[in-house]
A and B are shown apart, each in its own frame.
Chain A
Amino acid sequence: MKWTADLEHFPYPFKGSTYRYSNNSIPMITPISVEITPDYKNEMLLKRNLLTHHPDRCYQSLPHTKTAQWEIVELVIDHLAAHYPNEFTIEKQNSTWIFSNKLLDEKVEFVFGDLQSLPCEPLAFISHHVQEDLILMMQRDDDLYLDAGQLCFPANWSLAFNIGMKFKNIHHPIPGFKEEGLDDRILQFLLRLEAGNPWERKNWSLMAGDRLDTSLETFDQWGQLRKQVTKENAGKLVHIRVEVQKLFRLSQTNNILFTIHTHLLSLEQLTAIPEWLQQFYDILSKLPPHIVEYKGISLYKNAVLKYLEKQLERVKAT
């Protein structure tokens, strides 16, 4: 999926001229867990298709998560209705709620807290209305567990494998994360997350192609494009993939809602802004090998660098 909005709205992820793993979370200025972009309708179509045809890949939950799931429904619906009043409304008559999604022309009536009143689990239900992937991290014994989640647009990881997993364990595949003590520092930070003070961060990667659903389950297919990148086609084929991740403490159940909104931008679009071009070139050319490898860029990094060099020459010439 191509970025169709203004470039100035793209969540550009870079600061400085180098990139290292760190806790790059910042307090959220406008506390909102989900965002509606111009791609809303297309992405909802894609997401609903994936949820229907690949339920195990896209949705997992453990039985003890229902109360927390309802709390997520409430938080997300309240945010939608408050920030997008023309697109979403909620009428609450005691525990009977009527939720309207005007973008999709849908109206859902249910009894809050009553599982029978929805066609699916509460987390699955609300997932059908937002572009974000929604992950529930349950807190107990000073740890966080991935006990439920809806994940249609993962950056090459498997929800089905990770279900029930602890925070540090989830991050085990990342090189250097444990050795540098980052996993523990970030976990301690998350355990102290307070209701009413949400945080956000951006994560970035590169990919060959423009699929949002880059699941680990289908990597053997979409990964093939990595072999086709050349310095000639990199501008159109290679995309920067930015995840805007948000962290909310759920005040009633003391768990954490983690939302992931994935955005793709072709290198051609990224490099249209000379400052971005230079900064991205600096970062990519100095990116440590273990990060290049983990992010899956090794096969085509050189082709991308050559492409960027050509663009830099072009900018200097004008």
Chain B
Amino acid sequence: MNSEALFINGKRKYIFCGDDQGLKLLSSVMEKVIEEGLIHERFLLSDRKMPLLEDFLRSQNMGTFLYLAIPFSELQRFRTAIEDIGYSDEEVQYIGYGEKIISLFCCRCHEINKTKHEQKRLFCQGCGLDLEVSDHYSDLHDAFLGYVAKL
């Protein structure tokens, strides 16, 4: 999950997917792909609806590389769906923009805390424990796990 797209060479096909603002963030990589004469396709996520995109991604061949650029707040949800379709981390770049608020599940009291994604530490609002933000994520809670930051 980055805020800037990087060109990755040598893929059979490139897909640029995002909402209006997201596609702008992908424009420099898109230009590069056009310059090199590589196969590509644009997919505008006008209303950020998942099912259409899912069908589209399912119909792609192996060797397809995906750039997805949407607000940070939506990114994890999309990522889960895209992984379910079978895209691995090596086949996708996730680009986020805007303020990224994530949920953090307290390992001690199970409180779900809201926090900015840059934040690495946090005091739990439920029990006051000093929490360390991890990348262990639960779809069901739509939250990351907060571990004891300091014994």
Contacts and interface: CB of A to CB of B under 8 A. Distances in A.
Given A220-B148, A223-B148, A227-B151, A161 B108 contact: no
A160 B141 CA distance: 10
Interface in B113-136: 129, 134-136
Interface centre among A162, A223, A224, by most B CB within 10 Å? A162
A126 interface: no
B134 A173 contact: yes
Given A56-B110, A217-B108, A220-B108, A164 B139 contact: yes
Interface residues of A, number: 20
B107 A217 contact: yes
A110 to B, nearest CB: 30
Please report whether the interface of chain A is mostly helix, strand, loop or mixed according to DSSP.
Answer: helix
Interface centre among B129, B140, B147, by most A CB within 10 Å? B140
B145 interface: yes
A165 interface: yes
A226 B151 CA distance: 9
B139 A165 contact: yes
Given A161-B145, A217-B107, A173 B140 contact: no
B138 A161 contact: yes
Nearest to B140: A164
B105 interface: yes
Contacts of B97: none
Contact of A172 (B129, B136, B147, B151): B136
Interface in A142-168: 158, 160-165
Contacts of B109: 217
Contacts of A172: 135-137
Interface in A274-289: none
Contacts of B129: 220
Interface in B67-102: none
Contacts of A56: 110
B138 A219 contact: no
Nearest to B107: A216
A169 interface: yes
A224 B105 contact: no
A213 to B, nearest CB: 14
Interface string B27-56: 000000000000000000000000000000
Contacts of A218: 108
A220 B151 contact: yes
B107 A219 contact: yes
Given A173-B134, A173-B136, A217-B108, A161 B141 contact: yes
A164 B138 contact: yes
Interface string B8-36: 00000000000000000000000000000
A261 B139 CA distance: 28
A173 to B, nearest CB: 5
Contacts of A224: 151
B145 A158 contact: yes
Given A172-B135, A172-B137, A218-B108, 7 more contacts: A161-B136, A173-B134, A216-B107, A217-B107, A217-B108, A219-B108, A220-B108
10 contacts: A56-B110, A161-B107, A161-B141, A164-B140, A169-B137, A173-B134, A216-B107, A220-B148, A224-B151, A226-B151
